[in-house]
Structure 1
Amino acid sequence: MPRSLIDLLWRDHPDAPIGGARGPKARISTGSVVAAAIALADADGLAAVTIRSLATDLGVSTMSIYTHVNSRDDLLVLMADAAHGAAAAARGPVSDLPWRAGVAALAEANLEELRRRPWLLEIDDDRSALGPGTIAKYDRELAVLVRLGLDDVTTDAALTFVLDFVRSSARALRTPRHAAELAENWPNLSVSLADYLGDAYPLAQRVGAAAGEAMGGVGEPSFAWRFGLARLLDGLAALAQCDPSAQNEANSER
């Protein structure tokens, strides 16, 4: 009988129900299936992770995989949770840093993880929040945000705000199509574009020309990341109102 997803997520907990049918010991475990799926995604992207490909890698039948995970969708949740748990365990402490440095550090750490494992950006399933790895990551990151002295609901929203910004930036930092071509040919392209525009759209031309010259093209995601992170921290500083020490730090770091 299939186990529920929450039981699969918490399969290593002492109180987790024992799944599987009676008989010979299984050649593989749920953990080994998840680990193999993560290895496939790391190597070849999320599209490479199929029940059939896992069965081939592990040398078992596809039905053997289904005795450990109920579906590919459930497998993706297990993968995300395992990745979150491993990343949280590997990071050094940030709660001892001044809150602003701590938030910047957790944002940078999340960005690094998403750039190392871009397939995580493709898993958008709220059920991962039920898992031990994701909860461990959540608790660790709340330890930084809670120092702002906000109420619990606002603290949760502030963390969501940070992580949403990171995910958006991680998507932008993936090398877009034709980015190298645009950067290489930008001087000639900008001249041609100016000829076509003439006197039209003067504001767009003025600002676009200044930005294009500074960034060497139509955009520079790393500049947008630095700018956005600084503005995000300024916004959080404005919320720091209940904890006097956080408020003092916010004022001193502006």
Structure 2
Amino acid sequence: MTAPTEEVPVPASVERLAAGGRVTPVWVNERGGVTFRVDDCDNDGDDDGARYVKWNPASTGLSLAGEAVRLRWAARWTPVPRVLDHRRDDDGAELLVTAALDGLSAVDPRWLREPATAARSLGEGLRALHDALPVAGCPFDWGIDERLTHLDPEADTDVRAALADRPDVDHLVVCHADACAPNTLLDADGRWTAHVDLGRLGVADPWADLAVCAMSTGWNYGPGYEHLVYEGYGVEPDAARIAYYQLLWDNT
């Protein structure tokens, strides 16, 4: 996902849901989905009363229904957005409405100016998430077998061979499954406060999250901050597992 760099049309279903409130596009994804912030007319700019609306056209193939179920499940143990509504419009597009949370994304300009603080907090937040969510009874899977069912059909022979040589599972946790930097929120002091975008949350090796979280610091902050994610999490880097799960991420 990226912040929009040009004007984004607001779908009629989002306008109706906003009921006259201010609608601001905040994220767009590579499949045409958009996340909007909706502030009620009497909202003074604070998060109280603000909502986020994820809108995915029918063509994306992404399930916001699955995300709604995962958010409701995870909310019993860890700070995640509260689901307010989930619906489809007449064109088949899905809308997921959640209450706003306190905190700024770890890629807000505030934290792009302090990447070391943000990177360490990404690791701390990820460790807290993994420690909080119970593997026993978790109904969602994000393990290697499940993910390989979504392998890029254009992946070459070398990639397929490398992914077939899977590492042993270190241990199992409930993974975020999109632990990139934008999906952790930080407070004014740089401490993690919550996680968002849990549409693929499921049981897997923690290195599946760690490898991607560390890799995302390069995309968002530049080189040299990966080690702070591992330090914040409290683990020494495992080069083989990191390489495997980064390759898996790039090809599924």
- TM-score, with normalisation over the residues of structure 2? 0.28
When you count helix as a share of all residues, which structure comes out higher? 1
